[in-house]
């Protein structure tokens, strides 16, 4: 509650200042009209005191009224211009406040998620090694514990690789070196290795059309497939179906990852490709991640002359679809 109050205080003060400016402007406008009216009235009285004829007083009175109306028009125009500039400034400042707040939330979520993601595999691997150190176990049990420790170190390595890659992308120092190869085999090998290593409880289907060749960066291209695949795993219940499709269609090469998970609302479908963005709040979210995976995927897809989009799956879930120009 205290943190929320601190975050909203600058915006509250800003609204008070805006209200004060409008009140002052209204008072200034009222005072200007009153002053003009008084000047016009005094000039008319002065003409009467001079003993001028009624016709001359009427003529001068009309001139005074005409000048008064011009002053009113000038004040109104200046006031309208001032209000327009003020409103534009208010909108821009409010947008800045909103962006700063979103950035602060993203940074907070990223720190929370990275802290969890770093501590979790380290603590797990440490526990596995301590078990090997302190207990006499059968060979099969030792191999199982070693496999779990390797799994944790791979998680940690993937996290570090994503952070480093995101940093390179942000600083414009990352480049791809593409060469033509059999991408069908490349995707099949990468996913098969991952599925065998992690022993997922999902129903996984690989629908890979054979012998599709295209120019890719062999170092970074697996990150596209594996990040989308891991994303589907994270947000899908156990025993649900996950399908990876790779095919050629109408002179285009299409990669799809279909899941039967929670799905996405329309507002999140474009936002999820922003750096650090994750659906929900980090303090209540149960799924793992840092909000870098889809940001990296989007960048790498663009570097491979492709476009990525998210669609709703039927009856539930999401379809991440990438279209490459062949």
CATH of the domain at 315: 3.30.565.10
Rounded Cα gap, residues 281 and 277, in angstroms: 10
Strands of the sheet with 252-258, listed across from one edge: 203-208, 241-249, 252-258, 318-325, 306-312
Instruction: Evaluate if residue 113 carries a pLDDT over 80.
Output: no
The reported pLDDT for the residue numbered 181 is: 92
198/308 same-domain check: yes
189/297 same-domain check: yes
Residues spanned by the domain of 97: 2-107
Give the lowest-confidence range in 134-143, 209-218, 285-294, 300-309. 285-294
222/261 same-domain check: yes
127/185 same-domain check: no
Question: Which of 59, 76, 107 finishes a domain?
Answer: 107
102/131 same-domain check: no
Instruction: Evaluate if residue 4 carries a pLDDT over 50.
Output: no
The total of structural domains in the chain comes to 3
Average pLDDT (129-149) is 86
**CA dist 40 to 78, 122, 219, 261, Å?**
20, 84, 82, 76
Cβ atoms 252, 76 nearer than 8 A: no
Length of the chain counted residue by residue: 326
The reported pLDDT for the residue numbered 282 is: 44
Average pLDDT (198-214) is 90
189/321 same-domain check: yes
Structure-model confidence comparison of residues 307 and 135, the more confident one: 307
Instruction: Evaluate if residue 187 carries a pLDDT over 50.
Output: yes
200/133 same-domain check: no
Average pLDDT (37-44) is 65
The mean pLDDT value of the chain amounts to: 80
Kindly state the percentage of the chain with pLDDT values over 90. Answer: 23
Average pLDDT (111-123) is 75
Question: Which of 81, 107, 133 finishes a domain?
Answer: 107
192/280 same-domain check: yes
Instruction: Evaluate if residue 65 carries a pLDDT over 70.
Output: no
208/295 same-domain check: yes
Per-position b or e across 193-218, b if 16+ CB within 10 A of its CB: ebbeeeeeebebeeebeeebebbbbe
Question: Which of 170, 188, 205 finishes a domain?
Answer: 170
19/89 same-domain check: yes
């Amino acid at each position: 509650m205290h943190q929320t109050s601190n975050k909203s205080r600058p915006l509250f003060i800003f609204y008070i200042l805006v209200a004060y400016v409008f009140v002052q402007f209204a008072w200034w406008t009222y005072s200007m009209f009153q002053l003009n009216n008084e000047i016009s009235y005094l000039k008319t009285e002065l003409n009467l005191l001079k003993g001028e004829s009624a016709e001359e007083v009427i003529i001068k009175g009309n001139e005074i009224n005409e000048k008064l109306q011009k002053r009113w028009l000038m004040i109104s125009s200046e006031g309208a211009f001032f209000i327009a500039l003020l409103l534009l400034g208010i909108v821009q400042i409010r947008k800045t406040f909103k962006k700063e707040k979103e950035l602060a939330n993203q940074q907070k979520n990223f720190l929370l998620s990275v802290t969890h993601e770093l501590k979790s595999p380290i603590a797990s691997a440490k526990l596995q090694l301590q078990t090997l150190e302190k207990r006499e176990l059968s060979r099969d049990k030792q191999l199982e514990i070693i496999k779990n420790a390797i799994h944790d170190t791979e998680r940690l390595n993937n996290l570090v690789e994503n952070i480093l890659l995101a940093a390179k992308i942000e600083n414009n120092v990352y480049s791809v070196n593409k060469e033509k190869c059999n991408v069908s085999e490349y995707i099949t090998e990468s996913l098969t290795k991952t599925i065998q290593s992690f022993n997922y409880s999902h129903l996984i289907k690989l629908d890979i059309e054979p012998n599709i060749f295209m120019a890719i960066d062999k170092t970074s291209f697996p990150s596209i497939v594996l990040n989308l695949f891991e994303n589907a795993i994270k947000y899908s219940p156990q025993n649900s179906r996950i399908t990876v499709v790779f095919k050629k269609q109408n002179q285009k090469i299409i990669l799809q990852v279909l899941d039967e998970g929670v799905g996405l609302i329309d507002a999140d479908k474009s936002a999820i490709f922003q750096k650090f963005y994750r659906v929900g709040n980090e303090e209540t979210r149960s799924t793992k991640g840092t909000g870098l995976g889809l940001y990296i995927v989007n960048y790498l897809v663009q570097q491979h002359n492709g476009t990525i989009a998210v669609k709703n799956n039927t009856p539930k879930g999401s379809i991440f679809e990438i279209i490459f120009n062949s």
